[in-house]
Amino acid sequence: MSGLTPSQTVGPFFSIGLDWPQANQLTGDQLIGQPLVLTGQVLDGDGQPVPDALLEIWQADASGSYPRPGSAGFSGAGRCATDADGRYVFETLKPGGVTADDGIAHAPVINLVLFARGLLTHLYTRVYFSEETAANAVDPALGCVPEARRASLLAQREGDHYRFDIRLQGEAETVFFDV
Amino acid sequence: MSRPCATVPPGIYPPNDCPAYRSSAKRAPGEAAVRIPPGPGDISGPCFGAERLRAGATDLTVNSQGGVAQGQRIVVHGRVTDQAGRPERRALIEVWQANAAGRYLHGGDQHDAPLDPCFTGAGQALTDDDGAYRFITIEPGAYPWGNHPNAWRPRHIHFSLFGQAWASRLVTQMYFEGDPLLPFDPIYMSMPDRDVRERLVARFDLENSQPDFALAYRFDIVLRGPDETPLERQL
């Protein structure tokens, strides 16, 4: 066994090394599924926008399969830095629910990890969809979250997009996961 | 990967609640992370290939116009493995750093030190079949920051790594052996255990220095890998 390498903050200047063109666009002409725009704001403990956060997502395709190494088509992976107002946006496809090898059904979800100045270790959270009532009710991860806090994990449909704000601290703090 | 990652022992990934690091005050979550059974999205992960790399991205000392960066040229190399010591093959590594004067090529960096027109400070690499990687760069300078009076960040290079799984994702910083600023830096000192902190300190490596060209530092990295028994590892 070797000792795990510790984490350190991404700091304020990550765009030098982590800026990928169009990394927040996972859509393409050849892809099958329901287009989905996911957007929101990252807010600190005072409710102020966090203008220097980096978000990455990982998700299944519309049929509920996670892309495998070397496979063509939908990448399932995206990256977006917040703007001066703490806002981010991903253009992707709505993920399908996934039935795992053990037969357990997982609700449609976008896995999200957040890095920022001030965070020594990154934060994992998950974007669920408010209309997926039946699938959410039996999702094994949502079931671990106290009921009063589950609303922080539900993206809400607003017109042509889904809104998912991330509150790092304080009232209505977003649930983060130990995965 | 088709198995969950081994859990992270306490004390390795530093707690976000770190009063000595002022930026954490309004950003560290107040609630503990909720432990969940790893799902299909946690044990799989994004995979990047050579198409992700810019040409020449492992040599930070030469810019796209052929200009040569100022500063002490160094080789930074090492291996990326999982906790069981197995190589992380074709893992994407992204690095960024300040220039030799301690200045980042970034609009938010207000430090009154010169920019180097021949140095962007960005690099990328994929590990090879043995998990090995190698960059050529210049030694970054230390720089002041506003955390506390006369605060200086020790010289460091930022590293971002994708392992086999979503749960293996890591962003960290590589420091330099013998840097006198290390014990005064709240970010480095955020891990209480000295042995754990020192995993982030690259070792001077005379053997891999290049005569008449560059000094060398070695920095090995261990990512979260599948939780397997020794017997399964032999298969």
What pLDDT, on the 0 to 100 scale, is given for residue B229? Answer: 54
* Cβ contact B16–A120 (<8 Å): yes
* Cβ contact B94–A18 (<8 Å): yes
> Tell me, what CATH number does B88's domain have?
2.60.130.10
Closest CA to A125 of A176, A53, A167, A174: A176
What pLDDT, on the 0 to 100 scale, is given for residue A145? Answer: 98
Cα B32 from Cα B35, distance rounded (Å): 9
* Cβ contact A6–B14 (<8 Å): yes
CATH of domain A15-167: 2.60.130.10
Q: How far is CA A136 from CA A131, B12, B29, B116, B157, in A?
A: 9, 33, 24, 53, 42
A86 in reach of chain B (CB within 8 A): no
User: What's the number of domains chain B is made of?
Assistant: 1
Give per-residue pLDDT as tens, A131-179.
Answer: 999 999 999 999 999 999 999 999 999 999 999 999 999 999 999 999 9
Supply the range of the domain harboring residue B31: 22-225
B8 within a domain of the structure (yes/no): no
Q: What is the ipTM of this complex?
A: 0.96
Cα A118 from Cα A96, distance rounded (Å): 34
B16 within a domain of the structure (yes/no): no
B161 within a domain of the structure (yes/no): yes
CB atoms < 10 A from the CB of A39, how many? 18
Is residue B2 very low, low, confident or very high in pLDDT (cuts 50, 70, 90)? low
B13 within a domain of the structure (yes/no): no
Is residue B234 very low, low, confident or very high in pLDDT (cuts 50, 70, 90)? very low
Is the Cβ–Cβ distance between A109 and B41 less than 8 Å? yes
Give per-residue pLDDT as tens, B51-73.
Answer: 888 888 999 999 878 899 999 99
* Cβ contact B85–A6 (<8 Å): no
State which residue of chain B sits closest to A111, comparing Cα positions.
Answer: B41
Cα A156 from Cα A98, distance rounded (Å): 21
CB interface of A with B, residues 11-50, below 8 Å: 11-18, 20, 44-46, 48, 50
Out of B36, B123, B197, whose CB is closest to A177?
A: B36
- Beta carbons within 8 Å of B62's beta carbon, 6+ residues apart: B56, B68, B69, B118
Is the Cβ–Cβ distance between B202 and B208 less than 8 Å? no
Give per-residue pLDDT as tens, B4-33.
Answer: 888 898 889 999 999 999 999 999 999 999
B143 belongs to the catalytic site? yes
Q: How far is CA B137 from CA A20, B50, B75, B112, B121, in A?
A: 21, 20, 6, 22, 8
Instruction: Indicate whether B1 pLDDT > 70.
Output: no
